[in-house]
Structure 1
Amino acid sequence: MDPKFLEVIKDTTPATIVTVNANPAHVVNTWSHYMQLVDDHTLLIPSAGMHSIENDFPTDNHVTITVGSYKVPGTTGTGCGYHIHGTGHFETEGTHYDEMKAKFDWIRAILVVTIDDIQQKI
C-alpha cells in the first residue's frame, strides 16, 4: 500500500463517495480519518446515513471515493489526492461492524468497500 495514501486517509479532511448509476449521480461525504483500511483490498467506512448510495447498490455497487490532503506532498507540490475505485456493500452485524461501532457509537451500518484500484491524481 502506498505510504503517501496512508498519510492522506489519516488526515482530518473530507472524503467523498460517489455512485454513478443514479440520475443524477449520488454523492455522500464522510471524514477520511474515519475510514479504516483492513488490508490492501478492504476499506471500512462508518455510516450514519448514506441511504442514497445504499439504495443504488442492488442495481450497481461500484463506488468512487475521493480523498486528499493539503499536508501531504503531491505530484507537483503541496497537496495530494487519490481516487479509490471499488465495489461496496453495507453490513449491520459481524466482526467489522462491532469494531467500528465501538469507535463510532452513532453508526447504523458500515460501508465495506472492496478496492479495485487506487490512483493518485495530484
Structure 2
Amino acid sequence: MDQKFLDVIKDETPATIVTINAQPASVVNTWSHYINVLDNQTLLIPSAGMHSIENDFQTDNHVTVTIGSHKVEGTQGLGCGYHIHGTGIFETSGANFERMKAQFDWIRAVLVVTIDDIQQKI
C-alpha cells in the first residue's frame, strides 16, 4: 500500500464491493472513508446490510473492491482509482468487530478483506 492509495481511501467517495459468483453478480456500495486499513494485507469494512455479498461467500469468497478519488493525482492528471482483489469474511464478534462497532454503532457485521493485490487503474 502506498500513500496515494491511502489518500484515495480517505476521500469521501463511494466504494463498490463486487462478487461474481452470483447470477447476476452481487454489487453493494459503501463510502471509501468508512474503510479501515488494519495492515498492508487487511481492510475492515463496516456492514449494515451486504447480505447478497455474504450469501455469495458460501460458495466463493473472492471479492473486488473499487475506490477512486477525483482529488488525487492519477496516471493522467487528477483522478485516481484502484481495484482491490482479495477474499472476504463477515465477522459479528471479536476484535475487528469491536473496533468497527466503536466507530460505526449501526453495523451488524464487519467485512474483513484479505488483500491479494491492489491495482491502480487510472
Tell me the TM-score normalised to structure 1 length.
0.99
Q: Output the CA distance in 1 between the equivalents of 2:35 and 2:2.
A: 16
Could you tell me how far 1:7 is from its partner in structure 2? Answer: 0.1
Count of matched residue pairs: 122
| Distance across 2 between alignment mates of 1:96 and 1:112 | 8
Name the structure 1 match of 2:110: 110
Q: CA deviation at 1:33?
A: 0.2
> In the alignment, what sits opposite 1:64?
64
Letter in 2 for 1:120: Q
Which residue in the other structure is 1:119 paired with?
Answer: 119
Query: Structure 1 residue 58: deviation in Å?
Result: 1.1
**Please, what is the CA RMSD of the aligned residues?**
0.4
Counterpart position of 2:16: 16
Partner of 1:32: 32
How far residue 78 of structure 1 moved from its aligned partner, in angstroms, is 1.0
Offset at residue 2 of structure 1 (A): 1.0
The separation in 2 between residues aligned to 1:97 and 1:30, in whole angstroms, is 17
Identity of aligned residues (%): 77
**Where do 5+ consecutive residues of structure 2 fail to align?**
none
- Distance in 2, Cα, partners of 1:117 & 1:37: 14
- Can you give the 5+ residue segments of structure 1 that lack an aligned partner in the other structure? none
Which 4+ stretches in 1 moved above 6 angstroms? none
Question: What's the CA shift for 1:24?
Answer: 0.3
Q: TM-score, normalised by structure 2?
A: 0.99
